[in-house]
Amino acid sequence: MLPCTERFQAHRHNPAAGECAPRDHPQGTRPSLLVLDTNVILHDCGCLDRFGDNDLAIPITVLEELDRFKKGSEDINFQAREFLRRLDSLTGDMLSEHGAPIGAGDATVRVVLGGPLSRELQASFLEDAPDHRILDAALRLRRGEPQRPVVLVTKDTNLRLKAKALGLPTRDYSVDQIDSFYTGKRVVEDVPTAIVEAFYTDNGIVPAGTVVVVSDPRPNENFILRNGSRSVLATYRSNERVFVRVGKLTASGITARNAEQAFALAALMNDDIPLVTLGGKAGSGKTLLALAAALESRTRSRHVLLTRPVVPLGNRDLGYLPGDLSAKLDPYMQPLYDNLAAIHQRLDDGKAAKQIGQLLESRKLEIAPLAFIRGRSLQGVYFIVDEAQNLTPHEVKTIITRAAEGTKIVLTGDIQQIDHPWLDARSNGLSYLINRMVGQPIYAHITLEKGERSPLAELACELL
């Protein structure tokens, strides 16, 4: 039987984690037959192993489309090549109904040949497009195997709507099923006065056993503990099993304006937390805080590296741009320069402000495209990845595995502002990373909730 949700969760054979796992089918029933669209493969080249004991079908049109993507250095090119290699390594008759076995389970994969569009689709659509051929292949399979469910798995919303209009079951695909988003912060009301006062003595460090009002704290989780008009900000340190008070922090002239920003600066400047993610809406200070903390920590880091995915607003490419590599990237990297200018203005010390320009000239502060990260080993680097919501899970993995000794990686992004055509709030790399890393002692996350850019920007976020 099919999962009851509208999204297929990629499983890793871990039933204890609530993920998809092979199932025993009642006598006389067969597992579902899932028809994969090209975008599923380009999103996750390991998708063949993610559907339990359901059988898979690959329309020949999908292989034709993958052939166009296999050359290049971008992530989708890598995904296409890896999938084709995996498919080629399988042995068996892929053109028969039995297909080729996938791994040690009962699942199989086969390639489905096509032909002219059926009369039903010719009457429904104006053109013979690859999407329509994939849809036609799924409909042919359903007519040929009426004894079991046939489902089209695609990340293309429009194709899902077309399939539903023709009565064909369809599902989205993501590497992880994310039901709720971890914010990194909890508010606890009616905290006993003695507990609040304890944070203002003994250097603001309170044993976990004393803070009885907090249940099951996660490593580096942040808390706002309130008692009437009094409150205290605290972060849980799992290694020492203590809560540490978070004060009003300043980095490179930038001072935290609210509780979430204070939590963010505390994590960004903590050398014991090498991986930090910051989420939040536009204007909440994600990039500015990360840059300020990086500049504040530059004496402890050999190098500060700033980068962001080259994805134009609305996915509208600017076309050919004149000049060298730096000139071509300037339109995409300008938000980083804007935040550096804001820090420059906040620094009262003229000498300190001048150092930013010197760092850029000496390349100790480098703004570079994300495409050149593959293969590098980053040692002693404070590495900031802006707009990380436009990355795929595989790209995020590639970035984090570049970290060598002494490197700190910070990813910032707003999962509600995604410009990548095949990603959404649940399937993007930033959400995937947060979902996987929660609970690890070397990781911290905080969602910034309040916009601090300007009253106009805050109003636009709320009303538009």
pLDDT of amino acid 15: 31
Residues 81, 295: Cα–Cα separation, whole Å: 39
Token digits of residue 329: 């990237």
pTM above 0.85, yes or no: no
Please, is 331 exposed, middle or buried when counting C-beta atoms within 10 Å of its C-beta (0-12, 13-18, 19+)? exposed
Token digits of residue 80: 């296409």
Q: What share of the chain is helix, strand, coil (3-state, %, to 5)?
A: 35, 20, 45
Q: Would you say the C-alpha torsion 156, 159, 160, 161 has a positive or negative sign?
A: positive
pLDDT of amino acid 11: 43
The stretches in the chain having pLDDT less than 70 are: 1-29, 176-180, 310-337, 344-363, 452, 461, 464
Q: Rounded to 5 degrees, what are φ and ψ at 443?
A: -130, 145
- Nearest to residue 266, comparing CAs of 283, 239, 284, 243? 243
Residues 264, 406: Cα–Cα separation, whole Å: 20
Token digits of residue 225: 């503990």
For residue 203, what is the DSSP state? Answer: G
- Nearest to residue 130, comparing CAs of 64, 56, 43, 41? 64
Contacts of 395 (CB under 8 A, 6+ apart): 75, 309, 370, 429
Residues 464, 417: Cα–Cα separation, whole Å: 13
